[in-house]
């Protein structure tokens, strides 16, 4: 372990609520700062996978999740300090409303992360259908918790110049931006959230629009008003010992970047491949993350990788899948239009897509089987899925949950031989528990 610190300028882009324009504003600020020649390190508060894909595409650097519930406060600092190396500024997009945390409390809220990182907050306020009430809204947010430092407010979904005059006259913090409504800034949504950056890249084009309607000079001054953060950083091993094949394509695209770092620090070499387009690479183990296998079920059913993965399982190679990966490792998936597609069949279960989400929750559990993870190890993670898995009655489970749905009845992680699949997106670094 070595001591590392950073005094990097940093700013949190928080929202009054979900849907207020927080992601568009955050990505636009990142793009505008990049256009000025700055190296921008992006972050996302919470367990979300989709918004970070847009950040990464805009900034050319991997966006990191900051979630005190899953990670613990020390790991939030550690991830932040490590990721900021070589960057000029850190931009942190919040989650939901500024003060919305786990179970209605403070933990894992945007305000919580802002305090951990001593980062000033820019409040994004949706002002559609409002006038002077905007000032009351802002006053409530900025005075609710005196421990949160505010740099100012950016108003979104504005109308006419008259509307602007009615909304800015009595506000209690600096106005850093007033953004009019624009359909050009909208990214299409579907189940689980916005489309991924590789499917809709419009976030890259928001920089000039944000530069025009926001005061980036004032934002940069506010971002520089921070203190030094210091933390212990583990030293990576000198050489790789294990090759892990990691599925990464249109169907499997939900991963925590910190999990990749954790595997590398443990001595793993990561071999990325596409189960849709590629053959299965030679590796010692395989990791299938979440994503949208239901949208590519026909292609996956015909994949040459499917047959090769069965051979790998037959030879005893460890294979781990989470959420979308669980679907892929199961026998079949039934899509919303009633079509059945054969998956790998490595787990004795069948999956059905539902019209509304089946589970959306943080997960707390314990490992009860030694495959992949140490028996008795506590873990935390998150689940969000529209599928339901029906396992055979005699399947074995590797996870016992005290919070979360999992496959059902407090169980997750179906295991068969060297194959393990569950709904929980586990945060691998469990050192805070």
The residues annotated with a catalytic role in the active site are 323
Closest CA to 248 of 295, 294, 287: 287
Query: Do 66 and 124 touch, CB atoms closer than 8 A?
Result: no
What are φ and ψ of residue 147, in 5° steps?
-80, -15
Length of the chain, please?
Answer: 433
Determine which helix (DSSP H) or strand (DSSP E) holds 311, and give its type and residue range: helix 304-314
What is d(CA 267, CA 243) in angstroms, rounded to the nearest whole number? 9
Q: In angstroms, what CA-CA distances link 397 with 258, 348, 392?
A: 26, 12, 12
Q: How far apart are CA 354 and CA 191, in angstroms?
A: 10
Q: Across-strand partners of 14?
A: 123
Of 25, 30, 53, 49, nearest in space to 41 by CA: 30
Residue 51 C-alpha from the chain's centroid:
7
Structure tokens at 178: 């007033």
Reference 108, options 118, 120, 100; nearest CA is: 100
* CA nearest to 93, candidates 53, 141, 147: 53
Residue 218 near residue 11, CB atoms below 8 Å: no
Residue 294: phi, psi to the nearest 5?
-65, -25
**Helix (H), strand (E) at residue 216:** helix 216-223
Backbone angles phi, psi at 124, to 5 degrees: -95, 120
Sort strands 319-322 and 285-288 into parallel, antiparallel or unpaired. parallel
Cross-strand bridge partners of residue 419: 319, 416
3-state DSSP assignment of residue 56: helix
- In angstroms, rounded to a whole number, what is the distance separating the alpha carbons of residues 63 and 257? 7
Q: Tell me which residue has tokens 């709904």.
A: 423
Residues 117, 10: Cα–Cα separation, whole Å: 9
């Amino acid at each position: 372990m070595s001591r590392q610190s950073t005094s990097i300028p940093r700013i949190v882009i928080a929202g009054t609520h979900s849907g207020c324009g927080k992601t568009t504003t955050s990505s636009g600020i990142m793009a505008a700062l990049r256009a000025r020649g700055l190296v921008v390190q992006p972050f996302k508060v919470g367990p979300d996978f989709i918004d970070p894909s847009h950040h990464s595409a805009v900034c050319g650097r991997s966006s990191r999740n900051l979630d005190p519930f899953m990670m613990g406060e020390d790991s939030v600092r550690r991830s932040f300090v490590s990721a900021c190396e070589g960057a000029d500024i850190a931009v942190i997009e919040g989650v939901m409303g500024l003060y919305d945390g786990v179970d209605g409390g403070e933990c894992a809220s945007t305000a919580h992360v802002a305090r951990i990182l001593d980062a000033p907050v820019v409040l994004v306020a949706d002002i559609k259908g409002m006038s002077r009430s905007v000032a009351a809204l802002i006053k409530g947010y900025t005075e609710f918790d005196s421990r949160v430092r505010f740099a100012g407010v950016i108003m979104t979904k504005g109308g006419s110049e008259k509307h602007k005059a009615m909304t800015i006259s009595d506000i209690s913090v600096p106005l850093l931006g007033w953004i009019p409504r624009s359909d050009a800034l909208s990214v299409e949504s579907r189940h689980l959230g916005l489309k991924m950056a590789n499917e809709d890249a419009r976030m890259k084009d928001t920089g000039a629009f944000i530069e025009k309607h926001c005061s980036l000079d004032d934002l940069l001054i506010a971002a520089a008003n921070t203190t030094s953060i210091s933390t212990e950083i583990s030293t990576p091993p000198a050489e790789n010992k294990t090759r892990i094949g990691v599925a990464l394509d249109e169907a499997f695209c939900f991963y925590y970047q910190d999990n990749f770092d954790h595997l590398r620090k443990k001595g793993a070499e990561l071999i990325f491949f596409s189960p849709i387009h590629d053959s299965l690479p030679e590796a010692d183990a395989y990791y299938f993350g979440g994503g949208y296998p239901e949208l590519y079920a026909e292609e996956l059913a015909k994949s040459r990788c499917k047959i090769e993965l069965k051979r790998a399982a037959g030879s005893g190679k460890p294979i781990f899948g989470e959420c979308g990966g669980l679907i892929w490792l199961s026998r079949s998936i039934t899509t919303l239009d009633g079509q059945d597609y054969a998956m790998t069949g490595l787990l004795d279960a069948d999956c059905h897509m539902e019209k509304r989400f089946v589970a959306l929750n943080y997960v707390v559990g314990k490992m009860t089987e030694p495959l992949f993870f140490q028996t008795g190890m506590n873990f935390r993670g998150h689940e969000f899925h529209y599928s339901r898995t029906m396992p055979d009655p005699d399947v074995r489970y590797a996870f016992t949950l005290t919070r979360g749905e999992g496959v059902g009845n407090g169980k997750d992680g179906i295991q068969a031989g060297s194959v393990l699949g569950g709904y929980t997106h586990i945060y691998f670094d469990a050192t805070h528990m």
